[in-house]
């Protein structure tokens, strides 16, 4: 099967591909966004630490450094437009020994070079006053007010939903199986169809080198670097106010103590090079390393407070910079090796890629107006009067599905209408299953609602796509009934 010629096909619907598709949706173009997973953001992006870095951790000499600060300044308007969780909590990068102090000086220098205001050197007393739980061994630190936390999966969903509302076509479960140029245009093949297009944007994350090789483009190899993260009980939500960084190393920014947007404390990530790009296992060694490192910053942290743990594999390439730009293949643009601060830089990367397309000859006529999307309802954050009004208007908001996070049936059904097709898709959109019991109470009800609203059997509902079924079918079972 072959469709009419598209202007652009974006391969990969993680935070980078989603941001690019969203930016392109502002123009009068035909754009298709492809991803091999069951839903957008189900690769590396879902396991991101969710930090919008302050811009001072990189210098001005690299593309990464320039796009980090540009991207940081674009997140407020994106949040206003799309309605995902975002808060500028600020950060403290702390020195525990005299040997750490030169690293703090470099952060101050980077901020001055980029003209980033408000980045200041703090004394031990200033740090302890702001963060009483921090180690007494701290000797100095750098404070930045610009660092923020975001729910990366919410951002991906919002970007894709807004792109689709403005004529972008999104296709999940659509891995690229073949890619070639026929002399006139690119032919992009998935298991279900072949798309013709003028430009291909390779934002495939861990699969970027595979896509590039299909296109006849070489020159880089994707290497995996796994990061383990540990989420703690919400009772610790006020343990720290700022993101706490150790002084960075050449490999990573180290193990962080992160007050997430939704209140849980997150510790991590590790930075372990792995040969298996699909390796998302957590390990006893990783847990031990994370807590030992984190306790150097906040001594009261305990493994007993873990409620969830996960890992993601970051796509790294040789060298320290992003790989973004046109190639020898006509109309094929690589956006690869986007590790930290890739989330921060994502909206700036999208604008940069849009400029590259325009330079390559793609006509970019802005649409006269854009279709807005409705902000998702977060029932738990509403006032009592707002909750009562909503529940009176729609009885689904009277039924609590997830008791840990106080998520209602109305929110779950709204998430399905917005595109959730899996249990994890519901979890990332609504937080159902993210609390202390990790879905022990609500998972079955979420499966029932997915089954009823999607018109499929409960045995067809998956956790995160094909191969992750949750309910075994019985040959003698009656068809699932709508229990809503």
pLDDT tens readout for residues 162-185: 999 999 999 999 999 999 999 999
Number of domain units in the chain: 3
Same domain, 156 and 74: yes
Residue 328 in domain: yes
Considering 22, 53, 56, 57, which one is annotated as catalytic? Answer: 53
Residue 388 in domain: yes
pLDDT tens readout for residues 184-199: 999 999 999 999 999 9
Instruction: State the Cα angle at 128 between 125 and 132, rounded to 5°.
Output: 155
Residue 126 structure tokens: 């200033």
CA gap 97, 92 in Å, rounded = 15
53: annotated active-site residue: yes
Task: Classify 479 in phi/psi space as left (phi over 0), alpha (psi -120 to 50) or beta.
Answer: beta
What is the structure's pLDDT at 1? 40
Residue 62 structure tokens: 């690299």
Higher pLDDT, 86 or 484: 86
Would you call the peptide bond into 417 cis, given omega within 30 degrees of 0 as the criterion?
A: no
Does the pLDDT at position 2 exceed 50? Answer: no
CA distances from 400 to 387, 391, 408 (A): 12, 11, 4
Categorize the per-residue pLDDT at 478 as very low, low, confident or very high, splitting at 50, 70 and 90.
low
Between 61-70, 115-124, 251-260, the lowest mean confidence (pLDDT) is in 251-260
What is the structure's pLDDT at 472? 84
What range does the domain containing 302 cover? 91-145+223-310
Query: What CATH number does residue 96 fall under?
Result: 3.30.9.10
Strands 194-202 and 51-52, sheet pairing: unpaired
Residue 481 in domain: no
CA distances from 177 to 32, 149, 209, 217, 481 (A): 16, 36, 13, 16, 38
CA gap 154, 171 in Å, rounded = 18
The last residue of one of the domains, among 351, 375, 399, is: 375
Query: What CATH number does residue 432 fall under?
Result: 1.10.10.1100
pLDDT tens readout for residues 40-57: 999 999 999 999 999 999
Crossing angle (nearest 10°) for helices 409-417 and 423-430: 110
Same domain, 176 and 297: no
Residue 468 in domain: no
Same domain, 253 and 356: no
Residue 466 in domain: no
The last residue of one of the domains, among 357, 375, 393, is: 375
pTM, two decimals, is 0.95
What is the structure's pLDDT at 106? 95
Phi, psi for residue 446 in degrees, rounded to 5 = -65, -40
Same domain, 384 and 440: yes
């Amino acid at each position: 099967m072959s469709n009419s010629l598209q202007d652009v096909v974006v391969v990969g619907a993680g935070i980078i591909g989603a941001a690019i598709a969203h930016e392109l949706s502002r123009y009068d173009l035909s754009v298709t966004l492809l991803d091999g997973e069951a839903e957008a953001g189900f690769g590396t992006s879902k396991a991101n630490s969710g930090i919008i870095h302050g811009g001072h951790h990189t210098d001005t000499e690299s593309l990464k450094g320039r796009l980090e600060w540009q991207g940081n300044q674009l997140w407020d308007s994106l949040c206003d437009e799309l309605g995902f969780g975002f808060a500028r909590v600020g950060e403290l990068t702390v020195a525990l020994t005299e040997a750490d102090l030169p690293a703090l000086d470099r952060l101050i220098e980077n901020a001055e070079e980029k003209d980033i205001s408000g980045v200041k050197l703090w004394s031990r007393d200033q740090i302890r006053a702001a963060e009483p739980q921090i180690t007494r061994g701290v000797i100095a630190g750098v404070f930045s007010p610009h660092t923020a936390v975001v729910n990366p999966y919410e951002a991906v969903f919002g970007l894709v939903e807004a792109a689709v509302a403005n004529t972008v076509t999104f296709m999940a479960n659509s891995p690229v199986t073949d890619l070639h140029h026929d002399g006139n245009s690119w032919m992009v093949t998935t298991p279900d169809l072949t798309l013709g297009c003028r430009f291909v944007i390779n934002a495939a994350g861990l699969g970027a080198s595979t896509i590039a090789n299909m296109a006849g483009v070489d020159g880089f190899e994707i290497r995996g670097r796994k990061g383990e993260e540990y989420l703690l009980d919400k009772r610790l939500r006020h343990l720290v106010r700022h993101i706490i960084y150790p002084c960075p190393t050449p490999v990573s920014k180290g193990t962080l103590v992160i007050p997430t947007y939704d209140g849980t404390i997150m510790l991590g990530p590790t930075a372990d090079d792995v040969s298996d790009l699909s390796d998302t296992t957590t390990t006893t060694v990783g847990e031990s390393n994370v807590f030992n490192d984190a306790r150097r910053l906040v001594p009261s942290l305990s493994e007993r407070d873990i409620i969830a743990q996960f890992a993601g594999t970051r796509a790294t390439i040789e060298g320290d910079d992003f790989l973004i730009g046109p190639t020898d293949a006509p109309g094929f643009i690589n956006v690869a090796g986007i590790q930290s601060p890739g989330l921060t830089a994502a909206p700036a990367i999208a604008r940069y890629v849009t400029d590259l397309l325009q330079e390559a000859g793609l006509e970019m006529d802005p649409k006269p107006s854009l279709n807005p999307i409705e902000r998702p309802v977060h029932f738990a954050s509403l006032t009592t009067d707002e909750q009562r009004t909503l529940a009176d208007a729609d009885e689904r908001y009277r039924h609590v599905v997830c008791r840990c996070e106080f998520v209602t049936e109305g929110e779950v059904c709204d998430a399905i209408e917005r595109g959730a097709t899996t249990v994890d898709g519901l979890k990332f959109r609504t937080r159902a299953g993210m609390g202390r019991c990790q879905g022990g109470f609500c998972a079955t009800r979420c499966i029932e609602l997915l089954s009823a609203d999607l018109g499929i059997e409960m045995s067809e509902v998956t956790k995160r796509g094909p191969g992750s079924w949750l309910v075994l079918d019985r040959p003698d079972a009656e068809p699932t009934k709508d229990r809503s």
